[in-house]
Structure 1
């Protein structure tokens, strides 16, 4: 079978699974590079002719171009996913990527956001201007519910109810997160100003968070408002992004006593191991506090 034909079939398989535009863009880019390499550098056009040696050589070219280990591993996952699908479809007997050696990714301990920083970022926006209260509501929702930037941007008005939010995450997987009274207070203010702001303006769609023109908010806009908030409060020396609020939500939830399996469901992770990575950012002081609260001897007085 021609590799090019199988890659096209796999692309439609991914589209049928509702992969995000960003994921599909990354896949198309990677498979285009892989196809070009196999055809021009290895003289291979048939799927059955691809070996682990060919793919190992492909990975080597990535290293020679100076790509970081994390980037190479991420790219390799895309390639492995394609060949795994080929095995599942019985186009191949085994996945040639299983024998390919990948570089080790050094573990980087993330410096998470503190509660004071999160509160300051929220409070850096006022409650009087539409865009200001919108930005405050977005930061509050990310911190209190652990939503991704693309999930924030994609929320519909009908998805945000009195006490919970219906979220459509990666692969269009549906899950439920819950609205605390503290978050609800901010959302009520946001909804009131939103209604006033768009009273005499055109609202082009039913997204919950809207740009000032009445159009859907982009993930880039969500990223930019987080950067703006971090600048307003003078956060330096650590990475600040929408994703860091998911780390904050995960750490705070664990500190409050939630189990990792429930947390995994709230975050929309398909694998608990992904959730556990978030918890590596627990500071020593936080671990000490959690250990103290769960100490058998310290809890004797409660028994």
Structure 2
């Protein structure tokens, strides 16, 4: 008997083939996660039309899902395997979300709840576990020693687990959320989130003294309220002149899991910002440095090339380079913690002090705010220029210090 060749169609898990008599038929073949945590191969041939094959595929998939989620005794660990697989397959999670969710389940959820039936989850026990994490958690690396978690970490854990519970409700494993109104209110010192003007000036002065021209500008640009990934995600073609300043498209971000670039954080993060004053001057220097380094490495610059590249390698800086530079700077100047996102908080604080319209600031920073009816509406160029102008005045003393250091010249 001649070997049958199966050819992929445009429909997922559906293949076409020809019989020995030359008749074209269709086959369905896919794997499905079962209750025992193993995958079952589902295969059926001899469909006369692609529509019949698709109908069978959808029916078989739903029946397999029902067999899994319809089990009232399913445990947290068993359901998590299916939950994770569906989120990834539906492309609902970014690589960073996958990694973060897996971390919380591996270290905080599954060690405690893996064998717990979902229907057995209850608020009293969950609050007790939350309190354990906040006050009495055992250090996994030092048995007998405690290593409690901070409010922020436990709140993220709760958010991750609550999303999991909502999925279980949608799959009718439970009829309502039993883990509501959870208290996470441990008294702890206020975490430093932004910088004073003196701290900002000292940080930028130190960074300039301990950096190359390109790496300093990379560390300086978060003063515009941009996220770390957005700064290092700026591409050569994203920068265009506009009057005395520049327009910068913020459309890509680089992260540790997506060093080659990915979409920015949210829909409202897609924006074009106006840059003037010292930030515009520094960005122009960065573009010239980019072209010089490309030429030095005998590489042709392209519109989609990232601007912030290493002079030594000619390649984009690692996404963590900026964070490492801030950490080292913080230790040298005695400001701790110090990380790039604090510049974004500082921008927001200073804009509030300058009484700039909060909607303009939200749009300029690409910060989703559901209370605003026009959260996704791009502000006018005049609005962008207004934010840039006022913030240039707000940071005037700091920018004058940067300019007077005289290391970077256009």
Same fold, judged at TM 0.5 (above): yes
Matched residues in 2 for 1:111 and 1:27: separation? 24
Residue by residue, what CA displacement relative to the aligned partner does 1:21-73 show, whole Å, maximum 9, x if unpaired?
2x43221122234233224xxx42x4333222442343244242132341222
Cα–Cα, structure 1 residues 58 and 111, in superposed 2: closer, same or farther, change >3 Å?
closer
Matched, 1:142 2:222: yes
Show CA shifts across 1:147-195 (max 9, x none): 2223223333333444133244335763223322432211111111221
State whether residues 327 and 337 of structure 2, in contact with CA within 8 Å, keep that contact through their aligned partners in structure 1.
Answer: no
1:87 corresponds to which residue?
169
Q: 1:215 aligned to 282, 294, 315, which one?
A: 315
Q: Take 1:12 and 1:25, find their aligned partners in 2: how far apart are those partners?
A: 13
* Cα distance, 1:225–1:14 mapped onto 2, change above 3 Å: farther
C-alpha spacing 1:229/1:31, structure 2 compared with 1 (3 Å) = closer
Structure 2, unpaired ranges of 5+: 1-68, 138-146, 242-246, 253-263, 372-393, 395-410
Going from structure 1 to structure 2, the CA distance change for 1:120 and 1:56 (only over 3 Å counts) comes to: closer
Which structure 2 residues correspond to residues 103-252 of structure 1 after superposition, within 5 A?
103-104=185-186, 106=188, 108=190, 110=192, 112-124=194-206, 132-143=212-223, 145-162=224-241, 163-168=247-252, 169-170=264-265, 174-176=269-271, 177-201=273-297, 206-211=305-310, 212-230=312-330, 235-252=333-350
1:67 to 148, 151, 154: 148
Residue 283 of structure 1 aligns with which residue?
A: none
Q: Is the 8 A contact 1:20 1:170 kept in 2?
A: no
- For the 8 Å contact 2:286–2:308, the answer to whether it is kept is no
**CA apart distance, 1:90:** 4.5
RMSD across aligned positions (CA): 3.4
2:127–2:183 contact (8 Å) kept in structure 1: yes
Preserved contact between residue 193 and residue 345 of structure 2 (Cα < 8 Å): no
Determine helix, strand or coil for the equivalent of 1:219: coil
Cα distance, 1:244 vs structure 2: 1.3
Instruction: Return the offset for 1:98.
Output: 0.7
Post-superposition shift, 1:237?
4.5
| 1:241, distance to aligned residue in structure 2 (A) | 1.3
Residues 330 and 337, structure 2, Cα contact 8 Å, conserved in 1: no
Give the TM-score normalised by structure 2: 0.55
Residue segments in structure 1 that go unaligned for 5+ positions in a row: 274-289, 291-303
What's the CA shift string for 1:217-275, capped at 9, x where partnerless? 233201122234456xx5324432111101211122222222233323333333479xx
Cα 1:266–1:9 change in 2 (3 A) is farther
Cα distance in 2 for partners of 1:165, 1:259 equals 22
Q: Which has the higher helix share?
A: 1
Q: 1:223 to 1:190 in 2, by over 3 A?
A: same
CA contact (8 A) 2:215 2:308 kept: no
3-state SS of 2:180 partner: helix
Alignment size in residue pairs: 264
Cα deviation for residue 119 of structure 1 reads 4.2
- Larger proportion of strand: 2
Cα deviation 1:185-219 (Å, max 9, x = unaligned): 11111111221122132769822212342333233
